Amino acid sequence: MTSIQKVLLAIFVMILVVSCKNKESEKFVASEEVKTDYYTEPYRPQFHFTPEEKWMNDPNGMVYHKGVYHLFYQYYPEDIVWGPMHWGHAISTDLLHWEHKPIALFPDKHGLIFSGSAVVDFENTSGFGTKENPPLVAIFTYHLMDGEKAGRKDFQTQGIAYSLDNGDTWTKYEGNPVIGNDGIKDFRDPKVLWDEVNHVWVMALVAGDHLQLWNSKDLKKWTKRSEFGKDKGAHGGVWECPDLFPLQVEGTDEEKWVLLISINPGAPNGGSGTQYFIGDFDGEKFTTDQTETKWLDWGTDNYAGVTYNVLPKGYYGNTYDNDPRQDRIFIGWMSNWAYARDTPTEKWRSAMTVPRKLSLKKVNDNYSLFNYPVSEMESIIDNATKKNITVSAGTKESISFADLNQSEMLFKTASKNFQLKVSNSLNEEVVLTMFGDEKQFFLDRTGSGKVDFQENFSGVQQMPVPDLPADEYEVRVLMDQSSIEVFINEGQYVMTAQLFPNEKYSNLIIENLGEDEITFEDLTISKINGTW
C-alpha cells in the first residue's frame, strides 16, 4: 500500500468513526425524547401502576420474594379492550416504582389465563425446585373459550406454573389442569395460602355464588374441604377474586380471619365492588357470625383486589430492608365492569389503586377492616406547610393550587357538616360532602369532566359513616391524573373513583354546611411526585 493510499484509508476510517458516533448520538437523543414523552398521555396516572400499553384488569399473583414485590395482572396485549387473557408482569422494591417485565403466562391448549395467585413454595412441597432454591408457583384459572362457545359449563379449570429464577421465566406443569370442573359455570380465581398451623396449602376458590375451600400438600393434588357463603353477604352478581388471611385485632392479642369477595354486579353504588367477612378458620372451614354486608371501599372503582402473600414469620429474618413481614398489603383494579371498556384513554386502559395496608380494628364492639395507603407513599410526597383554617357557619374558603390532579389534601376536623369542591376554570368539579346529621358521605362526579362516554359513569356515590369518632378525625384525599381516593379516619371509610377532567383541577373550595364555626387543623395540599 502506498503512502497516499494509507492516508486515504486513515481519512476514511476517521469519517466512518465520526459517522457512527453521530448515529449513536442520534440514537441517544431519540431515546431521551422517548423517555421525555413516556407516560405523558392524557389521563395517564403518575403514581399509580398502569401497563405501558393495552388492556389491563385484575391484579394477579401478588407475592413478595427475595426483596421483590411481584405484580401480575390480567392483560390483553393486542388492544385496549378486553380480549384473550395473559398474565402481564411488573416488579418493584417499594410498591411505587415499577419495572415492566415480559408477559409471564400465555394462553395454551387448556385455555386463556384468568385470575389467580402465586406463592413461594419454601419447603419445595411441589418438587419443582429445591429447598435451597424454592420455586415460585402460580395458581390460575384456565378459561377454554371453545368450551364456553359450545355451551358447556365446565370450561373453567385450575392450572399451575412454576419459576426457578424469581419470576423471570415460567414453566407450566405438564399435569395441568390440577383441578377439573364437574359443571360449574363460574369456577375461578384461586387464592392460595400456607396454613402454618396445619402445615398445608389452602385454596380459596369461587364457584358462582359461593366460596369453596380446598387443601393440598404439594400444590398438585387438591381435595375440596368445605363451602361458604350461599346464605351470607351480597349476592347481586357473581362472586369473584377471593382472598383469605389472618389479621391481629389492633391493640389486642386476638386474631381473626378476613375473607375478601369481589362481586359483579351488586356493589352499593352500582357495578363492581368488594365485600368482606370477619370470622374464624380451622384449616378446613371458614365461619362467621357477621350478618350485615360490609364493603372494603364504597367507591365505584376498586375491584378484584387481593393481598400480597408473604413467607411465614421469621423465614427471612431481617435479610431484606423492604420485607413487609406480616403486613397485609392490598392492591385493587381501579375500574368498574359497568364502563371499564369505554373510559377515554387511547394507548392503555386501566390502573391499579395505590397499595394499601389492611388492618383490623374493633369499633363500637364490631370488627372493621381499615385500608390506608402504605407508608412508602410518604417518600413521594412534597410535604407542604401545615395551617389551620377556620370557616364560619354558612361561608366558604377557597385555596388555589397549580395541579390538584397530582396532589394530596390532608386535614383533621371534628366537623360532620362540610363540603369540598375540587374544580377548574371550566367549572368542572368533583364534590365531596359530609352530612353528619344523616351520617352519610357523598362523592359527586356528575360535573367532573368527561362523563358521557358511558351512561353508568356519571352520578353521585354514597357511603354511610355511622361510626365516625365524636371528636377529631383525619380526612386524606389522593388525586392522580384520572382518579381520586378518599380515606376517612385513617381508612375506616374509603371511596375510590375515576375522573376525566378536560383541564387540570386548580381550586379547592371548603364550605361549612353547619350552624357552628368549624376548624380544619393541619391542612396541607402537597404535590405527589411521579414514579415513572
User: Active-site positions?
Assistant: 58
Q: Which three cell numbers stand for residue 324?
A: 413487609
Tell how many helices (H) and how many strands (E) occur in the chain. Answer: 2, 35
Check if the beta carbon of residue 412 is closer than 8 Å to that of residue 522: yes
Q: Which residues contact 24 (CB under 8 A, 6 or more apart)?
A: none
Check if the beta carbon of residue 57 is closer than 8 Å to that of residue 88: no
Could you give the CA distance from residue 150 to residue 318 in angstroms, rounded to a whole number?
Answer: 53
Cell 395473559 found at: 86
Could you give the CA distance from residue 145 to residue 487 in angstroms, rounded to a whole number?
Answer: 40
For residue 215, give the 3-state DSSP assignment: strand
For residue 304, give the 3-state DSSP assignment: strand
Residue 195 buriedness (CB in 10 A; 0-12 / 13-18 / 19+): middle
Could you give the CA distance from residue 258 to residue 367 in angstroms, rounded to a whole number?
Answer: 10
Find the helix or strand (DSSP H, E) in which 366 lies: strand 366-373
Q: What is the dihedral of CA 488, 490, 492, 496, to 10 degrees?
A: 60
Check if the beta carbon of residue 307 is closer than 8 Å to that of residue 337: no
Q: Comparing C-alpha atoms, which of 487, 502, 356 is closest to residue 409?
A: 487
Backbone angles phi, psi at 61, to 5 degrees: 55, 30
Backbone angles phi, psi at 26, to 5 degrees: -60, -40
Exposure string for 245-256, b = 16+ CB within 10 A, e = fewer: bbbeeeeeeeeb
Cell 476510517 found at: 13
Check if the beta carbon of residue 259 is closer than 8 Å to that of residue 242: yes
Could you give the CA distance from residue 325 to residue 320 in angstroms, rounded to a whole number?
Answer: 10
Identify each DSSP E strand in 83-170 by its residue range: 86-92, 98-105, 112-120, 136-143, 156-163
Q: Which three cell numbers stand for residue 147?
A: 368450551
Could you give the CA distance from residue 101 to residue 91 in angstroms, rounded to a whole number?
Answer: 7
Q: How many residues does the chain have?
A: 532
